[in-house]
Amino acid sequence: MKILLLEDDFTLSKEIATFFTSKKFECFPFYDGTLLLKKYFPYEYDLIILDINVPGINGIEVCKGIREIDKKTPIIMLTAFSEIEDKLVSFDNGADDYLVKPFHFEELYARITSLLRRKEIPQQIEKKIVIHDLEILEDDMKVFRSGEEIKLTPKEFKLILILAHAKGKVLSKLFIADKLWDYHIETNQNTIEVYINFLRKKIDKDHETKLIRTKVGYGYYLSHQE
């Protein structure tokens, strides 16, 4: 397994690399975001770890740049901050997970192995999902409403897929949070409300028929019928 690491703290970077070596992983460290993007080749790595506050281009912009050419390799963000805004920005730019410093290496390892397992599981998915006038092209990561493309962030796209795959079944915020993030964090359930509102503004706002629905006290579902 090959892991790409962006971390400007030389001591921490060396400790992380040594830890991965003990787990039989190869670790390729970078200390500067600009240099990493210049050297990055898509699909060469099995997983990417990005510190946010680094010299050159910061980790969030690096994540965004990688996602423009590689939408599948798992990305974990590392940061000394824990505010919900930082997490939302990271997820909106394509991160799959988020770990706040200081952390235990075994926790980082657990999250890595979870993401890698998910990546290896064959996905039995529909190529095209149609709900009323909503079309979801899963392989292309595109969404259309009444023939017009709707631009979604990676997390918004994943959320609409979770709802679509449920085929009208009501999903609780806890269930959605568990699917949207591999690890439960305190803000997950509240964050679901934020993302649902994001989706409603993009999917339903300009249409008479609303598709993203709430069953009070239970959760959310996707349907053109109440």
Measured CA to CA in angstroms, residue 207 lies from 118, 135, 160, 204, 213 at distances of: 35, 14, 17, 5, 14
pLDDT of residue 69: 82
Whole-number pLDDT of residue 94: 86
- Compute the average pLDDT of residues 92-109: 89
> What confidence category does residue 184 fall into, taking pLDDT thresholds of 50, 70 and 90?
very low
Where do runs of H (alpha helix) occur along the chain? 10-22, 33-39, 59-67, 84-92, 105-120, 154-165, 173-180, 188-203
Alpha helices in 40-187 (DSSP H): 59-67, 84-92, 105-120, 154-165, 173-180
Amino acid identity at 91: F
Average pLDDT over residues 65-81: 86
Q: Is the CB of residue 34 less than 8 Å from the CB of residue 59?
A: no
How is residue 164 annotated by DSSP?
H
For the segment 45-73, the average pLDDT, to the nearest whole number, is: 90
- Binning pLDDT at 50, 70 and 90, where does residue 133 land? very high
**pTM score, whole prediction:** 0.64
